């Protein structure tokens, strides 16, 4: 779990601002749900035989009333629960996004933390593949906004439950016929969740996994049509993708479209965003059946990538730094900097006295574009000296304190 401190926190704020602007462009609305949910929500929602539920949840018993509670390991279950609880889909679909911390008890390493942060979207109440295309393409738009050129898109279709059942039987038969090649985890999952064996990271099992029957061969007409329609829209939008038959995703709730955005610039933790359709989840959480699709994006991983090859966020520097040679001037200084701040300027006030020279040093280090010098002579004339700090050619000026509303806004960094 990390502390996020200045100056790094500026990158986070810039990222979040970028995300909020993106969401407005796609007409997705913000949703905020509690960090803590009842444990059964995740057990039911994510599936009992998933990495998260088996070994990654921070679960505890509420000592006041015995409720089994869990720090949310992901965002979808909570959002869907909230929609059900508030009957929010009564007047049609909802397109939502969230930003916030998630918790998983994993082995910490680069790009894998126990408290990490996700942006996610959930589009609920829409069955058609155009929403699949929309949520995928909004990621592309975000990569563009962040200056990330080289993120790869993998897609797959998981079909529907009956199609997966037929495939599952074939898969179990394949693995049983090669039982001696299975590792311990795979043997344990063989009958509970054989699809997850395809997700194995064990290199020794790769040949066996490569040779396994592919779900795509078991999809019916409707599932194939949905997948083909999505592909046609991605093609038309000029978004390249790779069909990855082994992309099954970690949670049980997915059906039809699943996808991941992957980069090879982050070592082993190369997936920066993953998502898919979950048409059965609303009902599983106790609501009326309604389709849904969404994705979750790991902010730490995205910011790691941004730092390597993306845009640099604008440095958060003040427009002006107020130099206070004599504490007696403070009432006038405070009145003036408040007026400037009210006009939208970022103003840093020098605190703690010291010589003019040391105050100018601080002004310089702050990155401010101007120093405001509230010297005795200036104040006696009802003025403040404005000294440009970043432009050697620009001259110092004297400005009337009474006219701060006129000259103040001109100091704003363009």
Q: Which is nearer to ligand ATP, 75 or 408 (CB)?
A: 75
Q: Which is nearer to ligand ATP, 11 or 112 (CB)?
A: 112
Q: How far is the CB of 154 from ligand ATP (least distance, A)?
A: 12
Q: How far is the CB of 108 from ligand ATP (least distance, A)?
A: 8
Gap between the Cα atoms of 308 and 317, Å rounded: 23
Q: Which is nearer to ligand ATP, 272 or 386 (CB)?
A: 272
Which residue has the closest beta carbon to ligand ATP?
298
Q: How far is the CB of 111 from ligand ATP (least distance, A)?
A: 6
Verify cis geometry, omega within 30 degrees of 0, for the bond prior to 193: no
Question: Which letter does DSSP use for residue 350 in this model?
Answer: P
Gap between the Cα atoms of 131 and 292, Å rounded: 9
Q: Which is nearer to ligand ATP, 274 or 292 (CB)?
A: 274
Q: What does the DSSP assignment read for 275-328? A: EEE-TTHHHHTTS----EEEEEEEHHHHHHHHHHHSPPPPP---SEEEE-SSGG
Q: Which is nearer to ligand ATP, 272 or 384 (CB)?
A: 272
Q: How far is the CB of 247 from ligand ATP (least distance, A)?
A: 10
Q: How far is the CB of 251 from ligand ATP (least distance, A)?
A: 7
Q: How far is the CB of 50 from ligand ATP (least distance, A)?
A: 9
Q: How far is the CB of 360 from ligand ATP (least distance, A)?
A: 43
Q: How far is the CB of 77 from ligand ATP (least distance, A)?
A: 11
Q: Which is nearer to ligand ATP, 115 or 178 (CB)?
A: 115
Q: Are 400 and 383 in contact (CB under 8 A)?
A: yes
Q: What does the DSSP assignment read for 15-65? A: HHHHHHHHHHHHT-EE----SEEEHHHHHHHH-TTSHIIIII--EEE-TTT
Gap between the Cα atoms of 185 and 202, Å rounded: 10
249-283 b/e (C-beta count within 10 Å ≥ 16 → b)? bbbbbbbbbbbbbbbeebeeebbbbbbbbbbbbbe
Task: Characterize the bridge pairing of strands 242-243 and 94-103.
Answer: unpaired
Q: Which is nearer to ligand ATP, 269 or 348 (CB)?
A: 269
Distance set, CA 12 to CA 3, 35, 146 (Å): 12, 20, 12
Secondary element (H or E) of residue 274: strand 271-277
Q: Which is nearer to ligand ATP, 116 or 321 (CB)?
A: 116
* CA-closest candidate to residue 330, choices 379, 403, 387: 379
Which residues lie closer than 8 Å to 323 by C-beta, 6 or more apart?
350, 356, 359, 360, 363, 371, 372, 373, 374
Q: How far is the CB of 23 from ligand ATP (least distance, A)?
A: 17
Q: How far is the CB of 99 from ligand ATP (least distance, A)?
A: 12
3-state secondary structure 206-265: HHHHHCCCCHHHHCCHHHHHHHHHHHHHHHHCCCCCEECCCCCCCCCCCEEEEEEEECCC
Which residues lie near ligand ATP (CB under 6 A)?
74, 104, 106, 111-113, 116, 118, 250, 269, 271-274, 296-298, 300-301
Q: Which is nearer to ligand ATP, 74 or 132 (CB)?
A: 74
Q: Which is nearer to ligand ATP, 251 or 411 (CB)?
A: 251
């Amino acid at each position: 779990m990390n502390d996020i401190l200045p100056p790094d926190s500026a990158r986070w704020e810039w990222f979040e601002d970028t995300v909020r602007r993106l969401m407005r462009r796609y007409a997705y609305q913000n949703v905020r749900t509690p960090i803590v949910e009842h444990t059964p929500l995740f057990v039911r929602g994510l599936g009992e035989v998933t990495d998260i539920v088996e070994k990654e949840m921070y679960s505890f018993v509420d000592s006041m009333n015995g409720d089994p509670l869990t720090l949310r390991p992901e965002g979808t279950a909570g959002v869907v629960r909230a929609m059900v609880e508030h009957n929010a889909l009564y007047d049609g679909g909802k397109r939502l996004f969230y930003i916030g911390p998630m918790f998983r008890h994993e082995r910490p390493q680069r790009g894998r933390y126990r408290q990490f942060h996700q942006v996610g979207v959930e589009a609920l109440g829409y069955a058609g593949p155009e929403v699949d295309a929309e949520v995928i393409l909004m990621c592309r738009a975000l990569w563009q906004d962040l200056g990330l050129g080289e993120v790869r898109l993998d897609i797959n279709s998981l079909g529907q439950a009956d199609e997966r059942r037929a495939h599952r039987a074939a898969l179990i038969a394949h693995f049983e016929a090669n039982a001696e090649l299975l590792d311990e985890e795979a043997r344990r999952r063989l009958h509970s969740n054989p699809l997850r064996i395809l997700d194995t990271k064990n290199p020794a099992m790769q040949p066996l996994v490569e040779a396994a029957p592919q779900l795509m061969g078991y999809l019916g007409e409707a599932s194939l049509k949905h997948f083909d329609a999505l592909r046609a829209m991605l093609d038309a939008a000029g978004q390249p993708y790779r069909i990855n038959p082994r992309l099954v995703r970690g949670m049980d709730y997915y059906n039809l479209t699943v996808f991941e955005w992957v980069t090879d610039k982050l070592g082993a933790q190369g997936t920066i965003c993953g998502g898919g359709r979950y048409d059965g989840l609303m009902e599983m959480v106790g609501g009326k059946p309604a389709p849904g699709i969404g994705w979750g994006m790991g902010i730490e991983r995205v910011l790691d990538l941004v730092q390597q090859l993306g845009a640099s966020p604008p440095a958060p520097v003040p427009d002006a730094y107020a130099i206070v040679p004599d504490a007696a001037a403070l009432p006038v200084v405070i009145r003036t900097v408040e007026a400037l701040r009210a006009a939208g300027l970022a103003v840093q006030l020098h605190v703690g006295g010291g010589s003019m020279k040391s105050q100018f040093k601080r002004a310089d280090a702050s990155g401010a574009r101007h120093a405001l010098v509230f010297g005795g002579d200036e104040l006696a004339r009802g003025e403040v000296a404005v000294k440009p700090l970043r432009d050697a050619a620009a001259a110092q000026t004297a400005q009337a304190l009474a006219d701060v509303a006129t000259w103040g806004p001109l100091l704003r960094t363009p």
